[in-house]
Structure 1
């Protein structure tokens, strides 16, 4: 290209030299035109001959020379048009080659913009691509722009030249961008265009079927009109850019599909490996059980395989067996160590979902479920989170543990097969027929010829079955007789052995405080007294239900006074008794009258102390004058409380009220110390 330019310059110099040497020869000028065209000289070299023609004398030779020069200029224009079209075709061909050679879509678009700008000789070129999610166009490739703001332009479908081209799907050109009123202007876009000093602009749509995927632009910083050929060649480059964008999208889709396929294949391979590993672990666990392995063996195998500490816990949270990956089988943790709300919540979720549940990041629990309900939980502590395959192995371990626990329960049940019949016979058989159960009861550690104690716990049907299993784990089969009776659990033990039995039962009931209530009967000297003891215990439970008490084991002696008086009474009847007996002194459950409750507690202490004011004041940590002030206030509310017949009735009502609402009365001492009562603020210390 540099050689061609040099030749043209040389031709121009020769033409000037010829003009100077032969200023009056028209035939020489005609020859010079041919020589300049042959050498592809610049147009200015031909234009220089016009000055030479002007100095020639008029005549036929001058006319012929003028026609020759005009034809030469026309030929020169045609040659330049052919060259321009050739460059355009070469740009199209090179762009087509780039579509097959360059994989990077952004690089292809930058090359297209650069060629469009160079081919049309423009100052700026850029390409905007449609964003279907935001429903606007954004600049993706630029060439010749020096403003960063220009590259951040986003144009809606109803704004700017871009929106106009997209809506009409046809090329658009303007020689006066700022003053053109054919499209909607935007201040942000206009500021960006002014930042580039763009005066003229040409844009063509990138059409894919009936959709506009983008707009290709060229612009100039001076007033310029764009020819039809320039619009055509830019449209061709725009079509190639559209193909590039479509190919890129197809390539991205294919790449994404391939990545998804590879990911799916990898996931399936991993799942297959995990399933195989879990199946192998399950086979090992099953083989261990088949060889006679117990819970300790299971825990040890799981602990070593999972790399942590594994413990089997019963339904109450007590660890039965534990093992560590490095230390092997170890002593169970002290009772209550893992009993926490988070653990029980996770255990409940595991029962619902049938999967293991992680709580506190590195602790995992899996419910152990048998044929009749929950049997406990398998608890795992690991130094790192469980993988999917480890979780599967842990869950299979819980399943096998459930089988072992069921087998253990079945063996225990076979040993205790006659326990329900023995207990039922002792509790329900008429007097004089208990001796026939003596030998069977002794097998369970109960001597019917020694004092015995009957314990009755009322809870739900499911709760009774759970309590029986837990008591069996804690007490074995040689400490007491126990069995379900409807919604209650009956426990019978010799009185001297009742304390450990009671402690074990309370440990089992720790998580059921809102659902159970129990009665520990008075000691019975002989088995013939058990039926009556059972009846009294049931009456005590009925009274406690009417009072709304839950979460405690009551001694029968605490309730003996009230059972004969309120046998078969419901909550409404007892509430009516309180209202009728205590009158204005009574503050029901719905009221929060602290003053009346304090007065009631004061009167109860006074009656409990046998009308001894000094002793009652000491029991309440009150000054004697304060007590007297309160008694006067009580008299104002309940005038007849000192009458002999009424005093006994009121005393019973107050004690029953305290039995129903122990929390309200338990707070009286603290309240008295804090307030020192408003009733005696005017009392004289020496009265």
Structure 2
């Protein structure tokens, strides 16, 4: 091998060494220049130039391969990072973050396409204002729309100075606010569908190379597949959530239906066992989590479990008609419901429900079933009262007539009828002032059975024998319920309480006298017992309870004198004895007139401002006389044997 061949070989070896060392292009150019200067006429110079070009081509291809491998590795990293995110926002954040890092963008963002062809910016990275995310872009606006319509990348080195595409004021505002110039947009396409666009932007003028465009395009296509998969997964999750919710709803409905069936069975059982009306609606109220109230046709509350607002009559009538027509409950107001209660033997009633919130379908069905159960309970009670009526009427008639029967026999009959012979009872006599004794008798049967008492008819009157110790309250309650039913006044007299069944006849006679006296005094439609008639009641009463009369008339004055050692009672006596003159009363009492005036003011505080009215004043004077008479007979100096002697002389 001659020296020329060795020289050529050394030059080729030098080129290979530069290629192996990944020397810059200038090193290859320097080698050629030195060779030309040293041997400008060397015939092998073209071969050397060709070898340099081949080396540079190899170097370029190697760099391209390296960049592609790096880009592929970057795409793999993006895909791996996205797998750790489940939500679409998280995955798009990964895409924009990697796009900025891989291509040295100042800002990267993603817009998603809407069904109407418009787009909006969903996620952004590197932005410095709040204008970009959420920006809406109509059809035909911006680089992204052009890229999506053409299915190819579209870029500009200086956005605001480029008039190749239509501008939008909103988009231009974002570009100005962010200080952007170069913008690259590539479509995000998967399976022939464009889902949006991926953008890269720089705050300086920049020309994008094909490799950069290709890399962003690959990232966009990868993102499109992930977006599509995420949306499909979201739809699957949403469908699963709907299925779970539906299964939960069906399970809850099934559970509620089972609970409803159980409550209905319990209500039916309670009704057949003769449970109290309050117990029936209390069970339903607990199941509904609401308050219930049963009202009859006359507005009377038969049972109530809580605070239920009052409803006017017109609204109730409309609710009963609506509920009966639709065989369902009717909403009166917000969270206020009503259902009709119809027995067929009495006027229609209504069941009112006050719930804390809207009633479910099962709740409305339970409320309607409760109304039917209440109607059945009322009907059974009416039928039981009617069935037991003859025996109970006969027993009360025996008590009223005073037929001689052994006390043990009377007590045993009472127990068989469900009465407690040792409990206090009152006798109430009712007289409908407009006739309709038949309707009154039907009502009395149900009323007496409801209150665990007895009823019978005596002429034009209805007689009730009821548990209780307040005859006046019993008379008023009975009259108040019967009067609206008949549509006219009902007068009532009462007596009692009695704890001896043999004394029922006398109590009945006293109740009749109270009724006759009440009517004679012009009190038609009223209700009274002996205690309500003042001194007339004292005269009408069989036991002549003087102490009770004195207490009702001047009891507060007597109690005040006893507690404070005053003499108001004596002052009252002197005041009436002097003809109502404080001056004459003061002279009789040997005190100053102002003293009498102050005492009379105290009496007014104790007895009320009407104590000087004629009727009240008469009762007070009678009570004072009875008090004086009692003290005269039972004066302290009397020996223990004197009261007995006085009783024998009476």
| Bin of the TM-score, shorter chain as denominator length | 0.5 to 0.7
Q: Return the offset for 1:279.
A: 1.8
Q: Return the match for 1:131 from 114, 120, 139.
A: 114
Structure 2: distance between partners of 1:136 and 1:353: 51
1:629-665 CA-to-partner distances (Å, cap 9, x unmatched) read: xxxxxxxxxxxxxxxxxxxxxxxxxxxxxxxxxxxxx
Aligned to 2:273: 291
1:164-222 CA-to-partner distances (Å, cap 9, x unmatched) read: 22333333222332233232201221121233333332222223455421011223344
Structure 2: distance between partners of 1:452 and 1:342: 27
Native 8 Å contact 1:99 1:108 kept in 2: yes
Paired residues for 1:666-681 under 5 Å: none
Native 8 Å contact 1:207 1:214 kept in 2: yes
Corresponding pairs, count: 430
Q: Return the match for 1:35 from 17, 33, 43.
A: 17
Label 1:373 to 1:184 Cα distance change in 2 as closer, same or farther (>3 A): farther
Aligned to 1:84: 67
Label 1:260 to 1:371 Cα distance change in 2 as closer, same or farther (>3 A): farther
Native 8 Å contact 1:157 1:167 kept in 2: no
Aligned to 1:203: 185
Native 8 Å contact 2:183 2:202 kept in 1: yes
Label 1:374 to 1:62 Cα distance change in 2 as closer, same or farther (>3 A): farther
Aligned to 2:599: none
Q: Return the match for 1:108 from 91, 106, 119.
A: 91
Paired residues for 1:369-388 under 5 Å: 369-370=342-343, 375-379=348-352
Paired residues for 1:129-278 under 5 Å: 129-132=112-115, 136-209=118-191, 211-278=193-260
Q: Return the offset for 1:277.
A: 2.0
Aligned to 1:281: 263
Native 8 Å contact 2:430 2:463 kept in 1: no
Q: Return the offset for 1:56.
A: 3.9
Please give the secondary structure, in 2, of the residue aligned with 1:150: coil
Label 1:108 to 1:32 Cα distance change in 2 as closer, same or farther (>3 A): farther
Native 8 Å contact 2:316 2:350 kept in 1: no
Native 8 Å contact 1:317 1:339 kept in 2: no
Aligned to 1:74: 57
Native 8 Å contact 1:296 1:321 kept in 2: yes
Structure 2 unmatched ranges of 5 or more:
1-6, 391-428, 465-475, 490-523, 525-650
Structure 2: distance between partners of 1:124 and 1:53: 48
Aligned to 1:338: 310
Native 8 Å contact 2:99 2:200 kept in 1: yes
Please give the secondary structure, in 1, of the residue aligned with 2:299: coil
Native 8 Å contact 2:281 2:305 kept in 1: yes
Structure 2: distance between partners of 1:519 and 1:297: 33
Structure 2: distance between partners of 1:46 and 1:341: 109
Q: Return the match for 1:367 from 312, 337, 340.
A: 340
Structure 2: distance between partners of 1:285 and 1:404: 10
Label 1:286 to 1:503 Cα distance change in 2 as closer, same or farther (>3 A): closer
Aligned to 1:607: none
Structure 2: distance between partners of 1:389 and 1:52: 100
Please give the secondary structure, in 2, of the residue aligned with 1:188: helix
Please give the secondary structure, in 2, of the residue aligned with 1:267: helix
Native 8 Å contact 2:181 2:203 kept in 1: yes
Q: Return the offset for 1:455.
A: 8.0
Structure 1: distance between partners of 2:348 and 2:246: 38
Native 8 Å contact 2:182 2:202 kept in 1: yes
- Choose 267-276 or 380-389, whichever is displaced more: 380-389
Aligned to 1:396: 369
Native 8 Å contact 1:452 1:495 kept in 2: no
Structure 2: distance between partners of 1:84 and 1:43: 18
Please give the secondary structure, in 1, of the residue aligned with 2:137: strand
Q: Return the offset for 1:54.
A: 6.9
- Choose 158-167 or 37-46, whichever is displaced more: 37-46
Supply the RMSD in Å over aligned alpha carbons. 5.0
Please give the secondary structure, in 2, of the residue aligned with 1:126: strand
Structure 2: distance between partners of 1:503 and 1:52: 132
Paired residues for 1:523-542 under 5 Å: none
Structure 1: distance between partners of 2:289 and 2:265: 19
Label 1:289 to 1:256 Cα distance change in 2 as closer, same or farther (>3 A): same
Structure 1: distance between partners of 2:314 and 2:34: 106
1:514-562 CA-to-partner distances (Å, cap 9, x unmatched) read: xxxx899xxxxxxxxxxxxxxxxxxxxxxxxxxxxxxxxxx9xxxxxxx
Structure 2: distance between partners of 1:255 and 1:396: 40
Please give the secondary structure, in 2, of the residue aligned with 1:34: helix
Aligned to 1:567: none
| TM-score normalised by length of structure 2 | 0.54
Q: Return the offset for 1:129.
A: 0.8
Label 1:210 to 1:413 Cα distance change in 2 as closer, same or farther (>3 A): farther
Structure 1 unmatched ranges of 5 or more:
1-24, 325-332, 418-444, 457-464, 482-491, 510-517, 521-554, 556-687
Native 8 Å contact 1:314 1:470 kept in 2: no
Structure 2: distance between partners of 1:64 and 1:395: 107
Native 8 Å contact 1:452 1:493 kept in 2: no
Structure 1: distance between partners of 2:463 and 2:274: 38
Native 8 Å contact 1:453 1:494 kept in 2: no
Aligned to 1:424: none
Structure 1: distance between partners of 2:289 and 2:207: 79
